[in-house]
Amino acid sequence: MTIKGTAIVTGAGTGIGKSVATALLKDGWNTVFCGRRKAVLEPAIAAAGKTKAAALAVACDITKPDQVEALFKTTTDAFGRVDLLFNNAGMGYKSTPIDEIPVEVWNDIVAVNLTGSFLCARAAFGAMRRQTPMGGRIINNGSVSAQVPRPGSVPYTATKHAITGLTKTLALDGRPFDIACGQIDIGNALTEMAVPMTVGVPQANGTIAAEAVMDVERVAEAVVYMAGLPLDANVLFMTVMATKMPLVGRG
């Protein structure tokens, strides 16, 4: 197997991040599993089994600029370059009317979902721009909340709409440097965070209803596809969702 490049996946200890990082590793990408807790990252790598590509666990709080810089330095020291960033780490909050959302919750969600994505994209862009050969790819996890909201989701939805602006601008600004940027909007992938959807979550009409979910491996397959394109081609936006989820009929 030929090594396809070096990938960094944030939020790689659990859920979507773990699934995508594992799939990239098995597909031949040297993969950095990034997350706040190394104790979660190392078992995630172990669970992937033996691969020809190499894996590295790096603990990093993506809201801290110095830790993000250290993440990218560790990556380039280990593998020589950065070819792919999957900007995945994020957090949400229970369905709550805006006037009942603590300001601290807003600040925390903005710090992780938006500022963290900015800091990682900034570091990746700098590395990709200056390496030889120049270039690389950034894939942002937008979520279907980048398109339409769930009830009571102001902080999460606002940050995910902002990710769309980040994606479009990076796709434009990356052109002179062979840096491609795309976004995957994910709907109802079955992870620990999505378990409540199988029981019942608030709907636009005021009811509580269970929703269809899909295997998280479908997300991993989609990201591996996006990552594997040559840099003269780009999936700018992809929506991968449970077929029967009520996305199109949310409002």
Catalytically active residues, by annotation: 156
Work out the widest C-alpha separation in the chain, in whole angstroms.
Answer: 55
Provide the 10 A C-beta neighbour count for residue 243: 9
Q: How far is CA 114 from CA 31, 118, 129, 153, 170, in A?
A: 23, 6, 22, 15, 14
Cα–Cα distance measured from residue 104 to residue 224, given in angstroms and rounded to the nearest whole number: 35
**Are the CB atoms for 121 and 164 separated by under 8 Å?**
no
